[in-house]
Amino acid sequence: MPDVLLKIFRGDREGGQTADYQVPVAPGMVVLDALHHVQKHQAPDLAVRWNCKAGKCGSCSAEVNGRPRLTCKTRMDSLPQDKPITILPMKSFPVIKDLVTDVSWNYKVNKKIPGFTPKAGTNWRMQQEDIDRVQEFRKCIECFLCQNVCHVLREHDKHEQFGGPRFFVRVAGLEMHPLDGVSRVGLLKKELGLGLCNITKCCTEVCPEEIHITDNAIIPLKERVVDEYYDPVLRLVRKIRGG
């Protein structure tokens, strides 16, 4: 079996650098398999997060050759084998150790979002076509790759003013739930800073669940903010029509 050279970040909050590891490549191998191989044979203390190994839990995010990816879904044979493969932690979050980052900020943002609140007197009947778009948002596995690439967080560090694409997806899922009865539009504008998003679509490009974050979540939410704040008439009409 051919060997491939991995350059894996080793370090912690204080700093660090990449270290080299040679790993034999097996058919169908993914980057996470290679990391496990390193753990098992060379560096038992290499810190990596994972759970499902099947792209379902969103634990194993990292930057592979500069691209934010789920390591459990990144095939080694999709990467050039003649060059070293570089594996770094997500850049937008503080490193804890090696590839493990501190993503607790995301959990704090989530707490600001009022949960599902059913309209009074609902009979819990819903048509499939009315929930299709919400089911798309609910596919999110919280890998935080979209948060990691969004320049508002990555380059401008606006963690205090901005919720990030993951949480626009979450809010969209609540706002467009056919039986939800509260509005989160004020929250979107103020606490979550939706206005800071300038629709670069970088988030959509990295989403492993192929959620159309910008087109289906962010843009419709921006329209709602515009309606609520600048067009009260339209808002009233929609309310009456039950939109």
148 near ligand FES (CB under 6 A): no
* By CB under 8 A, residue 101 contacts another protein: no
Stretch that binds ligand FES, among 53-61, 121-129, 181-189, 214-222 (CB under 6 A): 53-61
* Percent of the chain that is helix, strand, coil (3-state, to 5): 40, 15, 45
Which of 30, 169, 194, 217 lies at the binding interface for another protein (CB under 8 A)? 30
CA distance 191 to 195: 11
Binding letters toward ligand SF4, positions 116-155, x by CB under 6 A: ------------------------xxxxxxx---x-x---
Residues 57-86 that bind ligand FES (CB under 6 A): 57-60, 70, 72
CB of 155 to ligand FES, least distance (A): 26
**Closest Cα to residue 134, out of 223, 226, 216?**
216
Number of residues that bind ligand SF4 (CB under 6 A): 28
Q: What angle (nearest 5°) sits at the alpha carbon of residue 196, between those of residues 227 and 137? A: 70
Contacts 24+ apart (CB under 8 A), 103-107: 103/144, 105/159, 106/142, 106/144, 106/147, 106/164, 106/166, 106/167
- Choose the contact partner of 5 out of another protein, ligand SF4, ligand FES, none; CB within 5 to 8 A by kind: none
What is the closest distance, in whole angstroms, from the C-beta atom of residue 39 to ligand FES in the complex?
A: 14
Helices 232-241 and 219-230, interaxial angle, to 10°? 110
211, 222, 224, 235: which one binds ligand SF4 (CB under 6 A): 211
